[in-house]
Amino acid sequence: MLMSLPANPVPAELYRFMAGTPGLKWLPWYVWGAGTYATKYGYDTTKFIGYLGTISVPLLGENVTVKSFRVQGSVEGQIGATEGAMLLASLYENTGNLSSPLATIFVDRRNVPNSSIGSVYVDMTQSVAFVASASQHELAIELIGEGQGIATITGLVIDFGY
């Protein structure tokens, strides 16, 4: 079974607001959608890397095999002297009081010229093979971004085997 957790593009009005600021910019991505909540901490963006949000992943049933984690979207590269964007998405499982990453997808185009990328679009699937039970585990996706380019997540997909 494929579970798709849609995430909307960057709200245009929010990006314009942030784009008017000088220096390093916090990439103003928010994540919305079914089973989703967005979180943003009040941190100093000159000191800390961007935490974009955490998306809870509904887990139904016992002994469910998490087969793969997929991210679709676009990540801009460097344009002239302006660095591109970096996107890191990790699927975490939580058991008790500890959570560990099951799969990590990383697209770093901060220093890769847009002209050499070929396409800004991203479609990456990471295999997982983790057996989870709703009574013992919880799943969540953590998103981190950095850079001055634009990145847009259009889909986060998890393949479950029942």
Partner 1 sequence: MQTRSLTVPRGKDMLVVRVNRHTHVVLRDAAGTVRSRWDSEGKHVTFPVEPGRYTVETDGRLGALELRRLDPAVGRRGPLRADRPPPLRRRKG
Residues that bind partner 1 (CB under 8 A): 39, 41, 43, 46-49, 51, 54, 77, 86, 88, 90, 92, 94, 96-101, 104-109, 112, 116-127, 138, 142, 144, 146
- The least CB distance from residue 42 to partner 1, in Å, is 10
Q: Which residue number, 22 or 118, has a Cβ lying nearer to partner 1?
A: 118
Residues ≥6 apart with Cβ < 8 Å to 27: 10, 18, 50, 52, 85, 145, 146, 147, 148, 150, 151
Q: Shortest gap between Cβ of 13 and partner 1 (angstroms)?
A: 26
**Residue closer to partner 1 (CB basis): 8 or 99:** 99
Least distance CB 146 / partner 1 (angstroms): 7
Cα–Cα dist 87/84, whole Å: 10
Amino acid at 39: T
Separation of alpha carbons 36 and 146, rounded Å = 21
